[in-house]
């Protein structure tokens, strides 16, 4: 009898738990549904505002008041965005930077034709003398050498030469990647290249009716500031 | 069965939040790009804020932070213009298309580098995916003054053909510097 009572109690507890769970699920669903409705309303309001903009009617908060006296906040926020945009444009020119407490942090951008590639950072201290604090320049770029030669005497020249090295490297790497991507069916396996991407070796096939001719190509880029090879060796294997 | 309904709602919430984010950006971009305040208006705003500030002492932290932020950014800009020699005199930007992964903008920039003036117009395509952002320039047109030199026009057409905006500015810097040296030297001997 006792065991039977225990079993009934257990069943009752289980039933309670299940009821509790079901109630929680319902509440959760109701919350989610309300959130969806709220967000949908918000989205629709925003969409209406954007549509009005497109139709050429400027109106903040739906009130078409003559913007005679825009708030100081609006003016300042507008100007801040403008200056930030201008600083962004400098990234497109190749050298941009901002002043830091101890000096300047430069950003060197690289590109190949119209495609922008990686950017590299150089954090410089300017007092008591110019020194490199931090940088994201890859190790195979001769940064130390260049710094020794130019950093103290002509920072502009230093950055310009460094930019040449970085741009050439980025261009070589980009060209190798593009070659691999667009001609993968003609190239056997993958391109072999060193980290500086100034030595490229690969095998490819040329087919003619029934015969395929395997070739091996070796490209050497002797000038580190150039993305055009100085030595090309093609052999039929 | 209940769980899958929950999931549907949660997915819908996420997609709505993304839409709202995108629409907000679109709205703000349009407001930014279609407004213009001259330097005098900005100066007047700063001055009127400073006058008010002395009258009441609370609730202005945000505005004085804004002013400080603006001054710091303007110092950065003035430094980089002086350092590179590239002075932009006007910048016109218009967002043509904006979706979750793609933004297309048209830019028109005028400026000068030492004694040479230039104007560039281009389209900028930005594609965002999980790992990175790719930025590509197209429809580039370049105008340089003085442009009489045939080597300059050859240079300009090569740049335009390849959309090589970066190369244009890098070459502009060194060309303008040497142009200036030549001009001064010539004047000296005149």
Would you give the DSSP letter of residue A56? T
pTM: 0.80
Q: Are residues A211 and A141 in the same domain?
A: no
> Tell me: the pLDDT tens digits for B70-125?
999 999 999 999 999 999 999 999 999 999 899 999 999 999 998 889 999 999 99
> Tell me: the pLDDT tens digits for A122-175?
999 988 889 999 999 999 999 999 999 999 999 999 999 999 999 999 999 999
DSSP string, B22-78: HHHHHHHHHHHHT----HHHHHHHHHHHHHHHHH--SS-HHHHHHHHHHHHHHHHHH
Q: Which domain holds residue A147?
A: 91-169
Contact criterion met (CB < 8 Å) for A114 and B162: yes
Of B37, B86, B164, the CB nearest to A75: B37
Q: Are residues A135 and A96 in the same domain?
A: yes
Chain A residue with CA closest to B41: the answer is A75
Q: Exposed, middle or buried: residue A221 (CB in 10 Å: 0-12, 13-18, 19+)?
A: buried
Secondary structure element (H or E) that encloses residue A196, with its range = none
> Tell me: the pLDDT tens digits for B49-73?
777 766 555 556 788 888 899 999 9
Contact criterion met (CB < 8 Å) for A115 and B66: no
Q: Which domain holds residue B102?
A: 85-189
Q: How many domains does chain A divide into?
A: 2
ipTM higher than the 0.85 cut: no
Task: Tell me if A8 is assigned to some domain.
Answer: no
The CA distance from B85 to B63, in Å, is: 32
Contact criterion met (CB < 8 Å) for A114 and B140: yes
Which residues, at least 6 apart from B172, have a Cβ–Cβ distance to it below 8 Å? B86, B113, B116, B118
Q: What pLDDT is attached to residue B178?
A: 84
Q: What is the SS3 assignment for B156?
A: helix
Task: Tell me if A200 is assigned to some domain.
Answer: yes
Q: Which tokens in the block code for residue A114?
A: 């119209």
Task: Tell me if A64 is assigned to some domain.
Answer: no
Q: What is the 3-state composition of chain B as percent helix, strand, coil, each rounded to the nearest 5?
A: 60, 25, 15
The CA distance from A67 to A54, in Å, is: 18
Q: How many domains does chain B divide into?
A: 1
Query: What does the pLDDT average to over B126-141?
Result: 90
Cis omega before residue A37 (within 30°)?
no
Domain boundary among A134, A169, A204: A169
Q: What pLDDT is attached to residue B151?
A: 82
Q: Are residues A95 and A164 in the same domain?
A: yes
**Is the pLDDT at A67 greater than 80, yes or no?**
no
Which residues, at least 6 apart from B94, have a Cβ–Cβ distance to it below 8 Å? B33, B105, B106
Task: Tell me if B106 is assigned to some domain.
Answer: yes
> Tell me: the pLDDT tens digits for B2-11?
678 888 889 9
């Amino acid at each position: 009898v006792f065991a039977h009572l225990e079993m009934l109690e257990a069943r009752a507890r289980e039933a309670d738990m299940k009821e509790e769970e079901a109630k929680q699920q319902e509440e959760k669903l109701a919350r989610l549904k309300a959130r969806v409705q709220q967000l949908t309303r918000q989205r629709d309001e925003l969409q209406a505002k954007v549509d009005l903009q497109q139709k050429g009617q400027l109106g903040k908060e739906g009130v078409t008041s003559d913007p005679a006296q825009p708030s100081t906040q609006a003016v300042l926020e507008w100007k801040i965005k403008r200056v930030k945009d201008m600083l962004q444009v400098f990234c497109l020119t190749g050298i941009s930077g901002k002043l830091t407490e101890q000096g300047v942090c430069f950003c060197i951008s690289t590109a190949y034709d119209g495609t922008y590639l990686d950017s590299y950072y150089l954090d410089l201290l300017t007092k008591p003398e110019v020194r490199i604090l931090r940088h994201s320049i890859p190790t195979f770029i001769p940064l130390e050498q260049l710094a020794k030669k130019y950093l103290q005497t002509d920072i502009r020249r230093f950055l310009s030469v460094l930019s040449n090295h970085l741009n050439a490297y980025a261009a070589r790497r980009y060209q190798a990647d593009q070659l691999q991507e667009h001609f993968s069916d003609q190239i056997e396996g993958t391109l072999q290249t060193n980290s500086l991407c100034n030595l490229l070796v690969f095998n490819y096939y040329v087919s003619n009716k029934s015969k395929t001719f395997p070739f091996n190509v070796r490209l050497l880029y002797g000038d580190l500031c150039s993305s055009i090879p100085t030595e090309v060796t093609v052999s039929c294997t | 069965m209940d769980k899958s309904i929950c999931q549907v709602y949660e997915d819908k919430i996420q997609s709505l939040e993304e839409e709202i984010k995108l629409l907000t950006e679109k709205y703000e971009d349009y407001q930014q790009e279609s407004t213009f305040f001259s330097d005098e208006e900005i100066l007047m705003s700063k001055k009127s804020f400073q006058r008010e500030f002395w009258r009441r002492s609370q609730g202005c932290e945000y505005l004085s932070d804004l002013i400080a932020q603006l001054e710091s950014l303007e110092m950065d800009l003035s430094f980089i213009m002086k350092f590179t020699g590239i002075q932009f005199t006007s910048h016109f930007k218009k967002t043509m298309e904006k979706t979750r992964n793609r933004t297309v903008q048209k830019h028109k920039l005028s400026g000068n580098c030492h004694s040479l003036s230039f104007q560039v117009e281009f389209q900028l395509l930005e594609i965002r995916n999980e790992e990175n952002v790719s930025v590509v320039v197209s429809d580039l047109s370049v105008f340089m003054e003085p442009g009489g030199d045939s080597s300059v026009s050859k240079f300009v057409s090569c740049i335009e053909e390849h959309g090589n905006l970066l190369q244009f500015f890098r070459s502009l810097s060194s060309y303008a510097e040497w142009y200036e040296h030549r001009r001064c030297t010539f004047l000296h001997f005149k």
